[in-house]
Amino acid sequence: MFPGGGQFYNEQKIKGSILLSGAVLSSLVHLDFASKYKNHDGENFSQKEQYLKQRNRYGWWVLILYFYGLVDALVESHLNPFEKVMSEDIEKSKNDEKETKK
């Protein structure tokens, strides 16, 4: 499972691409700040603190995008039959039911 995978499955390629791109970019930036934080020489404490804040911020973005993608894919998969039901001709369905009861 990867961010945007459910959207690709539900044929929402644009939304899936946006979620996947956002998660990949956030992950890369998170890893970059994590590396800078880990390898900081210790001379400027405020700079190291900024690396930590940025690392955590982008880590949260990765999680938020991941869980948003999961919830969105779940909701869309449950709403998928709704479109089929709403496009169905109600009068035809009633006539078909009456004929099957006879």
Determine, yes or no, domain membership for 13.
no
Determine, yes or no, domain membership for 71.
yes
DSSP structure string for 30-95 = HHHHHHHHHT--SS-HHHHHHHHHHHHHHHHHHHHHHHHHHHHHHHHHHHHHHHHHHTS-HHHHHH
The reported pTM is: 0.69
Determine, yes or no, domain membership for 52.
yes
Determine, yes or no, domain membership for 40.
yes
Whole-number percent of the chain with pLDDT over 90: 42
Task: Say how many domains are in the chain.
Answer: 1
Q: Which domain holds residue 82?
A: 33-86
Determine, yes or no, domain membership for 10.
no
Distances (CA, A) of 70 to 11, 27, 36: 15, 17, 31
- What is d(CA 102, CA 93) in angstroms, rounded to the nearest whole number? 15
Determine, yes or no, domain membership for 67.
yes
pLDDT tens, residue by residue, 12-59: 899 999 999 999 999 999 999 999 999 888 788 888 899 999 999 999
Determine, yes or no, domain membership for 45.
yes
Give me 34's structure tokens. Answer: 């994590």
